[in-house]
Amino acid sequence: MAIFNNPREREAAAGKLFIQATELHKAGQFTEAQKIYFQILKFHPTHYGVLHYLGVLAYQHQNYPEAEKYFLKSLALNRESSDGFFSLGNTLKLQGKLMDAATAFRKSLALKEDDHECHYCLGQTLEEMGKCEEAKESYARAVILKEDYQEAMDALNALVLKTQSQG
């Protein structure tokens, strides 16, 4: 492993390796990508992208506690990442941590309010929590942002029918 006395050299080396790792990751070569991600962390332990993509990798392998750990580490370095909060929200939701998931989705939306997919995921989470009116608002916002968003439209219509039959 190279020792970098100069921060620029370290950043340049990390950048080159990170590009290589993400290309492998996108190509489905997960083991190879993971090896490079860990190699980068040895000399650049606070590399936001590496930590985030290790979270993505863990998520893709349904290791949600591990994904949560990496997303939290990456967000500790960059609190302005709507993608980071969105990824964390999905990870928390799949672990049944609905209140925390809703908080993460809301933080993502505070940074990128026009994210139709995040509004939809927030709606799903709120619906699971029994917060039907808030869920309807989130689904409706998703449809407003993307008029042909059939999943959100279907979820909104189903929730409207469900609440009408209960009320």
Tokens 């998520």 sit at which residue?
59
In this structure, the answer to whether residues 55 and 120 fall within a common structural domain is no
Three-state helix/strand/coil letters over 104-147: HHHHHHHHCCCCHHHHHHHHHHHHHCCCHHHHHHHHHHHHHHCC
Q: What confidence tier does 4 reach under pLDDT thresholds 50, 70, 90? A: low
**pLDDT at residue 6, as a whole number:** 78
pLDDT tens for 104-148 read 999 999 999 999 999 999 999 999 999 999 999 999 999 999 999
pLDDT tens for 146-161 read 999 999 999 999 999 9
Query: Which has the higher per-residue pLDDT, 111 or 11?
Result: 111
End-to-end Cα, the chain, rounded Å: 65
Range of the domain at 161: 114-167
Positive or negative, the CA dihedral 101, 107, 108, 109 is positive
CA torsion 99-103-106-107 (nearest 10°) is: -170
Domains in the chain, number: 2
Go through 76-100 and write b for each residue having 16 or more CB atoms within 10 A of its CB, e for each that does not: eeeeebbbbbbbbbbbbbeeebbeb
Tokens 């994210």 sit at which residue?
115
Q: What confidence tier does 165 reach under pLDDT thresholds 50, 70, 90? A: confident
CATH number where 56 lies: 1.25.40.10
Q: What confidence tier does 75 reach under pLDDT thresholds 50, 70, 90? A: very high
In this structure, the answer to whether residues 48 and 105 fall within a common structural domain is yes
In this structure, the answer to whether residues 55 and 83 fall within a common structural domain is yes
In this structure, the answer to whether residues 74 and 138 fall within a common structural domain is no
In this structure, the answer to whether residues 105 and 118 fall within a common structural domain is no
Phi-psi region of 28 (alpha: psi -120 to 50; beta: other; left: phi over 0): left
User: How is residue 87 written in tokens?
Assistant: 């990824």
Full-model pTM = 0.92
Measured distance CA(86)–CA(64) in Å, rounded = 14
In this structure, the answer to whether residues 35 and 109 fall within a common structural domain is yes
* Size of the chain in residues: 167
In this structure, the answer to whether residues 135 and 161 fall within a common structural domain is yes
